[in-house]
Amino acid sequence: MATTAITATMTMVLRGLALFFCVVGRIAGSFFLVRLSFWTNVASMQKTLPKNDLPVEIVRIILL
């Protein structure tokens, strides 16, 4: 009887840990994807912006 309770408890703990890591992984993955797409957009914008323009250079320095 006691081993059945221990087994059930361990199963619930492992399921909880798996769910926790799945949620954390999804949040971290979406964060990195958003961050990557942001820097990709910044890089593509930098190609179209004029060179040696002071406000553009200030923004470029702040973002990098």
Spatial contact of 48 and 54, defined as CB atoms under 8 Å apart: no
Sign of the four-CA dihedral 17, 21, 22, 23 = positive
Residue 55, both tokens = 């406000």
Q: Report the distance separating Cα 30 and Cα 59, nearest Å.
A: 26
Spatial contact of 33 and 47, defined as CB atoms under 8 Å apart: no
Write out the chain's pLDDT in tens, 64 residues: 567 888 889 999 999 999 999 899 888 887 777 777 777 777 776 666 666 666 766 776 776 6
